[in-house]
Chain A
Amino acid sequence: MIEGQVFPSVPAGTVTGNRGLVVEEPLLFEQGSVAGSGVDLPEPRDVPDGLGGFRRTTPIGLPGLSEPQVVRHYTRLSQKNYSIDAGFYPLGSCTMKYNPRLNEKLARLSGLGDLHPFQPISTVQGALEMMHSLAVWLMELTGMAGVAMSPAAGAHGELCGIMAIRAAQEAKGNPRKIILVPESAHGTNPASASLCGYSVVAIPATSEGRVDIAALKEKLSDEVAGIMLTNPNTCGLFERDVREIADLVHAAGAFFYMDGANFNALIGRVKVADLGVDAMHINLHKTFSTPHGGGGPGAGPTVLSPALVAFAPLPFVRKTKDAFELVETRAQAGEAAHPFGRMKGFHGQFGVMLRALAYAMSLGKDGLRQTSGDAVLNANYLLARLKDVLTAPFDGPCMHEALFDDGFLKDTGVTTLDFAKALIDEGYHPMTMYFPLVVHGALLMEPTESESKQTLDVFIDTVRGLAAKALAGDADFFHAAPRLTPRRRLDETLAARKPVLRWRPDVAD
């Protein structure tokens, strides 16, 4: 097949380069004149100027556009995005589940969404109660003693957990030097450990895709401060030996950080405290359905064991007999608490917490248990119905995501990337590719509980069809994909070699 024979080549088809609903849209800076504005403001009060010599003397250089121009601009941009609302997003380790609209509505309620962070505490009791309620849900779902609510994202929660571990080790007299991280871990794990002054030592995986206990024993010493273990791991497998791992780590005087990125597989099924966990972040933007928003905002509350809870960062909410307090300073924290510091401005991702609580209350303990059941069922269904055409490196059952390697593409001339790009033309967001690093050319699929059997069946047929096409020797079809998207494959080498990171008048088309 020659590119362009079957699918119309773009942009050749039209005068404008537009393709029906997908309209080319110039940059903001290529539209409008400086004089316009899309906001009508009141006139400033007539008072003497107090800015004097601090005044700006040059124009900012922003274009001035009317409201309809701005609305059309962003509407057209939005139409160039894939989204979970529009289609299936089997992006492994990212938990792209449905984002309930009720949560958006509640986050905008007057008396919640419009509160100022520094109102007197007596005027924000409802907000503090909301934060406290979510904290109670998270502690009960994990069985942990406390939770630091302020981390802004998963990686930020990791940092919080490792800082608490470091503070606890220092309190025992020696911060120690090493954090152990399995080689299958997310890149954020070693980066977070490094930010806390630790060197990172990798632990290899067994041929079953799990932590190699013998290697772990070898690496444990009195210089190890803790281990960071993703569980279920990034191969989508539960670490069966987790309690033995916890015991070994504790016996060495170290702490067990569990990366909770994959908590959606466990929610309502197991209390992680029973696994011997000392700290774990929970991605509210994964397990608790808050929107990813094209890359944030998220939130990463971090649950803590009794050994670490005293070191939780400021601020935190404390319930007294008849009110809620916000503990913002060490003086307020009291003598029993030894907060290691502050992770974030204000009081954390309040709006994200609110959406997460609404999600938890909507599903309840029964619904959350059903959620992990359906998420794991969907992943195993994909695994079962695809493992005869794709290659699965590890035996099932898997947890919430199914891992394949690129063995099935051997000698076809098609790579994992090509295969994924062909899926885009079929109307899907690709699975996670080339991660985890422990298998070759990984394809990691996480369907979540949000997908119907019908959606999965059509997807399975699509993947099987593409696999057959690859095996039939139609490599050119894959190399040319995607063909039907607003842009086709982009030159990332050019972007990195000659960075153009902002618009300037002289580099515009």
Chain B
Amino acid sequence: MTERVPVLRIGDILLVSIQVDLEDQTVLDLQEDLADQIVARSARGVVIDITAVEIVDSFVGRMLATIASISRLLDAETVVVGMRPAVAITLVELGLSLGGVRTALDLEKGLALLRRSATGAELT
């Protein structure tokens, strides 16, 4: 069995920090784990940290979009943080603009973004 990516909890936010090379099976396991965790912990936000990811392909790009869609269905917002310039360029060249996925420069800004949108939601 392949390695699983740990899903950590900070308050009502789930943090997924991807530190390993992403194989297709790892990605599928992660989607499953994440969906389970969002429901189990009634999470409001998901932060995916890809600072350590140096190589992406279209499958990983689609994975990010899929996770975002799944989370949105479960009423959690997804923020992808720490994307490297090379990764961003690759995704653009692959024609994946990740519409619907929110992004932030680093983990701190990503958490701030979720916090901001939470307070914004309460105000309206």
Genuine A/B complex: no
Interface set of B (CB-CB < 8 Å, partner A): none
Interface set of A (CB-CB < 8 Å, partner B): none
